[in-house]
Amino acid sequence: MSLIQRLPYEMRLGWRYTRAGRATRRNGFISFISGASMLGIALGVATLIVVLSVMNGFQKDVTGRMLSVIAHIEIFTPDGGALPDVQRTLSEARAHPEVIGAAPFIGAQALLARGETMQGTIVRGIDPVLEPGVTDIAAQMKDTLLPRLTPGAFGILLGNDLARKLGVREGDTVTLIAPSGQVTPAGVVPRLKQMQVVGTFSSGHHDYDSALALLHMDDAARIFRLQGATGIRLKLRDMHQAREVAEQLSKQLSGYLHILDWTRQNRTWFAAVQLEKRMMFIILTMIVAVATFNLVSTLVMTVQDKRADIAILRTLGTSPGSIMKIFIVQGALVGVIGTLGGLLLGLSIAFNIDVIVPFLERVLHASFLPKEVYLISQMPSDPRAADIVPVTLISLLLAFVATIYPSWRASRVNPAEALRYE
């Protein structure tokens, strides 16, 4: 006895009605509608999985590249001036068990000029010895570029895109223009300093590669006329604990200091990504809902076509509840097959999107992700069970709900009326 034959007869009949059945024109059309419903559910589920996976990958990739440049926590004074006691603040911050790296820095904004070309830049004065313990990009340059930043030499490291905009490369000179000028008899004039480009770096994040310039902290202090570091950057064991650690440090550190964790530095961007993800989930769920409710028309037509069969079953003693189960099974099978097909299709695309997208770009001669707009140039993907499981359950639930009314109508068929013209 086969597995199908061991099932209850309601499930066997439901499975038979899901297949083609008798080779009639009407039944063939019903089977076509049933297949279209399966395909619609599969495409809706696959689309939802792929979109959510891409959005997860985008957020994860951008966050990773962002955190290769920025620190988990930054400590500075409210007015942006020099810290009153850098060493004491460093010692107090390092005493926290979650802190594994700390480094002072000077942050400022300036202009870089090369001939007639000028670019606004974020200037960061760093300690080449301590900075690798705070950011990944500095750790990558620990033995290559950072040793070139020596105090008094006024060397500067530029992001790749910033260097390209200025038209400079290693060994060239650029002019750094500090915003706070010098008072002269002729008025206030900006301070200018010739600096030598000692190298370029790439973080993979366009916003930083096109605007960030690194120099030795002592040189930055002389250029911007500061007495010391304007802030301290911290690295934590677990970056997801940044908000809690920041709140704890605000109570432990001496003096009135402003503490900012990485989630708050880019709060608008993270909030926008989360809102967009929720809205896309809702919108694409509507596509799945439309596909699943096509089952209603499929089952209504099936019930109409099987009225004689229903009447015969009723006269043989089949209860209305059993009749209802037969058509619920039929609709549920369409929903399950469509959902599983969509799940396999969506996961196949999500796990291979790094191959599919470049192929489409080559065929269409187009770039789907210009890095100047989207921060990254490759389509990322990060399928997560937290997204896939709800999508699957919602699709199955909608398919089940769509079967209830047609199945109820089938259970209400009057045998005498159905057999009158048979």
Q: Are 295 and 335 a contacting pair, CB within 8 Å? A: yes
Q: Above 80 in pLDDT, residue 372?
A: no
Q: Above 90 in pLDDT, residue 158?
A: yes
Residue 417 or 335, more confident: 335
For residue 380, the Cα-to-chain-centroid distance in whole angstroms is 8
Provide, rounded to the nearest whole percent, the portion of the chain with pLDDT above 70: 86
Q: Are 121 and 223 a contacting pair, CB within 8 Å? A: no
Reported as a pLDDT band with limits 50, 70 and 90, residue 16 is low
> What is the four-CA torsion angle of 223, 228, 231, 235, rounded to 10 degrees?
100
**Whole-angstrom Cα distance, residue 165 to residue 117?**
8
Residue 315 or 216, more confident: 216
Model pLDDT, residue 21: 46
Q: Above 90 in pLDDT, residue 214?
A: yes
List the single range of 10-24, 246-260, 363-377 with lowest mean pLDDT.
Answer: 10-24
List the single range of 154-168, 186-200, 255-269, 407-421 with lowest mean pLDDT.
Answer: 407-421
Task: Concatenate the DSSP letters of all residues of 151-173 into one string.
Answer: TTT-EEEEEHHHHHHHT--TT-E
**Whole-angstrom Cα distance, residue 326 to residue 155?**
79
Q: Above 50 in pLDDT, residue 400?
A: yes
Model pLDDT, residue 354: 82
Average pLDDT, the chain: 81
Q: Above 50 in pLDDT, residue 10?
A: yes
**Which residues are CB-neighbours of 158 under 8 A, at least 6 positions away?**
112, 166, 168, 174, 197, 199, 200, 201, 212, 213
List the single range of 4-13, 217-226, 338-347 with lowest mean pLDDT.
Answer: 4-13
Reported as a pLDDT band with limits 50, 70 and 90, residue 189 is low
- pLDDT 10s digits, 196-209: 999 999 887 778 88
Task: Report the DSSP pairing between strands 212-216 and 231-236.
Answer: unpaired
Model pLDDT, residue 7: 52
| DSSP H or E stretch at residue 190 | strand 187-201
Give the mean model confidence (pLDDT) for residues 286-315.
77
Model pLDDT, residue 36: 79
Model pLDDT, residue 179: 78
Give the mean model confidence (pLDDT) for residues 403-417.
76
Give the mean model confidence (pLDDT) for residues 292-307.
76
Model pLDDT, residue 234: 93
pTM beyond 0.85: the answer is no
Q: Above 50 in pLDDT, residue 90?
A: yes
CA-to-CA dists, residue 21 to 16, 35, 292, 311, 376, angstroms: 7, 13, 22, 18, 52
Give the mean model confidence (pLDDT) for residues 55-66.
82
